[in-house]
């Protein structure tokens, strides 16, 4: 795909409702601004497309996104990616908050559901499920075969929480009469260079990357028909989104400075500040020697001092009331977790962060509701990009596509679950069926019932029909 530079020109057209000067007659209204029912048909058939009139409002200059709402230059573009990388690597509260948002989604139950109960739709769903959730096998250019787990795919998509956007490239292979996905290759946000859009300013055509392949820096362009882009808190055509860590930056920055102050205070005041009170008649050389001595003083087993008559030595500590940095640091930790709605992370950490069990459960319920929305966004993106493309490669005339679904985000109390199932069965709402029993035994880690007609090794040995019998 060859992309030329973006030519920007500003034009101002008079409104079709503005009256014309005398003598120029009536102005013919612009047909593109008329209601749909009054426009002349531009295409054949019942389905016709009309060019958009509105603006996405996102400035994209030659593919380079500009967020005019971002006032901190450290949090814009690729500079923001480096800042967020520093935050998640250096701060325990930031890392724990991100893991609290990511791990339940990664541990959830993912499945592919058929578009309908027809035989073809169920066959399509089975093919997509086997390929996507358990059959990503890739052969490198040199012939090395590797496997990609579904957890790797989800973990890459969840980078949008940290950086605002994430992406994977679809790599296909021919397997007999079918086209299969070989790999959903992660494309890291640090390599996102330009976002190429259509003339409407909001339809993404391609992602331009600039980064390393082995030891060589390359520039490549990936069209959208091979790409799935995950964007967190996208507004308009801002495909880079806004990181979940953006509101936490101020608290991380202040807390980082408070830790430095605490470290300096510990270093300076842990053993006290050495001071020398000089006696009368001290010379200039004496004063300079005393200053050098207190600056170079180190605590070890041979530390000692010998002073002239009339001189005094002391280790001075901090006197008076000092600010408690611990409470300030805890406040900023709470605000960092608040950006992810993870209020429960701070229960019991201080006198103002207490709470009972009911409060903790209500907070976790709201937190998992937010996680479900994030997981559904990832599932929807993969459904309408990767799954749709995979189905179109293998079947023609498909109008409804299978959907990727995610459930069981939160840890379950099995005692409460069994009690609920018992009540539902007793009330006649549900009746036992094989799929339900299989689900319960799987979730509880119990052995699965074997398929009919398949004998276990023990039964074969008992009847003498095992190997060598």
pLDDT digits (tens, 9 = 90+) for 231-276: 999 999 999 999 999 999 999 999 999 988 888 777 666 666 777 7
> Measured between alpha carbons, how far is 13 from 29 in angstroms, rounded to an integer?
12
The pLDDT score that the predictor gives to residue 234 is 93
The pLDDT score that the predictor gives to residue 37 is 44
Confirm if 288 and 218 have CB atoms less than 8 A apart: no
| CA separation, residue 341 to residues 154, 344, 465 (Å) | 21, 8, 60
Q: pTM score > 0.85 for this model?
A: no
Describe the crossing of helices 357-382 and 150-157 by its angle, rounded to 10 degrees.
Answer: 100
**pLDDT digits (tens), the chain, 469 positions:** 444 443 433 333 343 434 434 444 444 444 444 444 444 455 555 566 777 888 888 899 989 988 888 999 899 889 999 999 999 999 999 999 999 999 999 999 999 999 999 999 999 999 999 999 988 999 998 999 999 999 999 999 999 999 999 999 999 999 989 999 999 999 999 999 999 999 999 999 999 999 999 989 999 999 999 999 999 999 999 999 999 999 999 999 999 999 888 887 776 666 667 777 777 878 888 778 888 777 777 666 666 777 777 777 777 666 656 667 888 888 888 888 888 887 777 665 555 555 555 565 667 777 888 899 999 999 999 999 999 999 999 999 999 999 999 988 776 666 767 777 788 888 888 887 777 777 777 666 667 666 554 444 444 444 444 444 3
The pLDDT score that the predictor gives to residue 174 is 92
The pLDDT score that the predictor gives to residue 458 is 43
The pLDDT score that the predictor gives to residue 448 is 64
The pLDDT score that the predictor gives to residue 32 is 44
**What are the structure tokens assigned to 408, written together?**
């069981």
Region of 201 (left: φ > 0; alpha: ψ -120 to 50; beta: rest) is left
The pLDDT score that the predictor gives to residue 340 is 86
């Amino acid at each position: 795909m060859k992309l030329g530079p973006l030519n920007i020109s500003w034009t101002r057209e008079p409104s079709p409702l503005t009256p014309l000067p005398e003598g120029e007659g009536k102005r013919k209204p612009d047909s593109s601004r008329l209601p749909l029912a009054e426009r002349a048909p531009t295409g054949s058939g019942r389905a016709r497309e009309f060019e958009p009139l509105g603006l996405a409002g996102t400035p994209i200059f030659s593919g380079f996104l500009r967020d005019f709402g971002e006032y901190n230059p450290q949090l814009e573009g690729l500079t923001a990616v480096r800042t967020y990388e520093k935050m998640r690597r250096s701060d325990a509260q930031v890392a724990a908050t991100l893991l609290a948002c990511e791990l339940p989604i990664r541990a959830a139950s993912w499945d592919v559901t058929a578009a309908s109960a027809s035989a073809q739709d169920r066959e399509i769903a089975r093919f997509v499920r086997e390929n996507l959730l358990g059959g990503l096998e890739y052969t490198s250019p040199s012939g090395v075969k590797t496997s990609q787990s579904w957890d790797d795919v989800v973990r890459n998509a969840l980078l949008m929480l940290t950086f605002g956007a994430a992406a994977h490239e679809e790599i296909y292979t021919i397997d007999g009469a079918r086209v299969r996905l070989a790999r959903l290759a992660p494309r890291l946000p640090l390599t996102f260079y330009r976002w190429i859009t259509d003339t409407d300013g909001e339809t993404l055509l391609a992602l331009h990357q600039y980064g390393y392949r082995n030891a060589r820096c390359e520039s490549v362009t990936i069209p959208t028909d091979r790409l799935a882009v995950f964007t967190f808190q996208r507004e308009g055509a801002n495909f880079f989104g806004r990181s979940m860590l953006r509101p936490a930056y101020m608290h991380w920055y202040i807390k980082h400075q408070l830790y430095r102050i605490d470290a300096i205070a510990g270093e300076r005041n842990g053993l006290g500040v050495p001071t020398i009170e000089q006696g009368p008649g001290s010379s200039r050389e004496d004063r300079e020697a005393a200053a050098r001595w207190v600056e170079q003083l180190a605590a070890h087993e041979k530390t000692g001092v010998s002073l002239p008559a009339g001189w005094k030595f002391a280790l001075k500590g901090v006197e008076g009331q000092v600010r408690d940095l611990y409470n300030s640091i805890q406040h900023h930790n709470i605000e960092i977790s608040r950006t992810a709605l993870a209020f429960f992370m701070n229960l019991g950490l201080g006198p103002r962060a207490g709470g009972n069990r009911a409060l903790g459960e209500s907070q976790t319920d709201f937190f998992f509701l937010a996680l479900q929305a994030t997981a559904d966004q990832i599932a929807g993106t993969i459904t309408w990009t990767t799954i749709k493309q995979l189905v179109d490669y293998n079947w023609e005339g498909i109008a409804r596509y299978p959907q990727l679904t995610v459930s069981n985000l939160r840890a379950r109390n099995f005692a409460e679950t069994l009690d609920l199932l018992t009540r539902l069965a007793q009330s006649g709402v549900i009746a036992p069926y094989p799929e339900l029993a299989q689900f319960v035994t799987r979730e509880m880690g119990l052995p699965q019932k074997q398929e009919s007609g398949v004998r276990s090794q023990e039964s074969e040995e008992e009847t003498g029909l095992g190997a060598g019998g």
